[in-house]
Amino acid sequence: MTRFWAPRAWIGDAVANDVRVTASEGLIASVETGATPDAADHRLDGLALPGAINAHSHAFHRLLRGRTHGDGGSFWTWRELMYREAGRLDPDSYERVATAVYAEMVAAGWTSVAEFHYVHHAPDASPYAPAHAMERALARAARASGIRLTLLDTCYLSSGFGSPLEPAQRRFGDADAETWLTRLSALRGAFADEHPEVVVGAAVHSVRAVPVAALERIGAELDPAIPLHVHLSEQPAENAACIEATGLTPTGLLARSGLLSSRLSAVHATHLTDDDIHALGAARASIVMCPTTEADLGDGIGPARRLADAGARLALGTDQHAVVDPLLEARALEHGERLASRRRGRFSPAELVAALTRGGASAVGRSLGEIAVGQPCDLLVVDETSARTAGSDPGQLVLSATAHDVTRVIIGGRERAVGGTHTDLGPIGDLLRKAMSA
């Protein structure tokens, strides 16, 4: 048994005082409020929140931070730089990069991550031997950092409607949907033995990257218990191409293909019609907003409030890791709504915390996101006395704090980061510099 005591903790949708959390074998065994600390308690000075769930990550995109702004450009020119970095990866280098990126996430307060993974094969598109080398590299990176990994093996078959993969995309692809489904099944079997701590889910990269017949086959054959993700309507060009090719919006095509359900996590969902919003809400799909990435790439501001009101569940992700900060991601969700609507308070602080925590549970295929009995003991502690947070209402710290105010991070009852430094791997900057220099 390990006991933690905090002067304040986020219980349900509000702040409770004098909270003791007892952990046993990584799970929360009891939660007491109004508790007096004693010598047996590990004291957490600040507001304890449930660990943040990063519902959308491409780990290697971190290599692009601060290197894509010199000539302006667009999402599409940024994508060419991303392909260049993807082409340089091998299992060893990807493990180093991912270990550093996951450690950065942990130090910032992210305790779980959904990795949208499509760099499957060697640069010449040949399979690695032994199989699943890149996937195993990511699993080892997650184990080293302590983060909970959901590995989303991604189907990527075409460069656009009716177009084959481009040379830079060939290592992402499989021959067809059957080949991808077979490889996914083999990966799930291998990880059940080697990495049982990893949840292996699935993704279709986007409707432009998976032909209609393949979408339909995946809809018919993919195990309905497996989490499924998709990039959805990130760019107006994707919508226009989909309508021209199929007569449907991307959301409509997913629905016709049997892929629109409560197990679906739609990433971005920026450019939607009214019918799209209604369909996603009626299906109780998860919507993974990545506000700092959407701002960095100039994607636009998605209809988050309307989606939530329609019945969709909101989650948050760091996507390309231009920013790795759960509190700034939550704040950017609200700020985007304010800029689009010219109104404040589109999301309450409690709704923002929910999007950061239990909102992502379905996306990662785990029961997570609350300080409650039976839940994993995943906590992040926010300093209430820093230059950013001093004087803030504890219930509104999500709108004033940043990752610099995250003093301790606990995953499975074990302390994984203190003061921005990983307890096993050391200073984050050193990790990142070494990974990138290699």
Whether 42 is catalytic is: no
Q: What angle do CA 297, 75, 121 make, to 5 degrees?
A: 110
φ, ψ dihedrals at 435, nearest 5°: -65, -40
Give the helix/strand (H/E) hosting 116: strand 110-117
- Rounded CA separation 313/267 (Å): 12
Longest dimension (CA), the chain: 68
Distance CA 285, CA 417 (A): 33
Which letter does DSSP use for residue 376 in this model?
B
Q: Rounded to an integer, what distance in angstroms lies between the CA atom of residue 304 and that of residue 27?
A: 32
Alpha carbons 310 and 274: distance in angstroms, whole number:
10
The rounded distance, in Å, linking the Cα atoms of 69 and 126 is 33
Distance CA 42, CA 153 (A): 38
Q: What are phi and psi of 70, to 5 degrees?
A: -65, -35
Q: How many angstroms separate the CA atoms of 380 and 377, rounded?
A: 10
| β-strand pairing of 379-382 with 313-316 | unpaired
Element (H, E) at 226: none
Compute CA distances 373 → 89, 208, 401, 416, whole Å.
Answer: 42, 43, 27, 21
User: Which residue in 56, 229, 231, 268 is the catalytic one?
Assistant: 268
Instruction: Select which of 276, 296, 319, 378 is catalytic.
Output: 319
Pairing of strands 406-411, 379-382: antiparallel
End-to-end CA distance of the chain: 41
Any alpha helices (H) in 165-211, and if so which ranges? 177-194
Q: Please choose, from the candidates 235, 95, 211, 227, the residue with its C-alpha nearest in 3D space to the C-alpha of residue 160.
A: 211
| 275 in active site | no
Which residue numbers are catalytic?
A: 268, 319
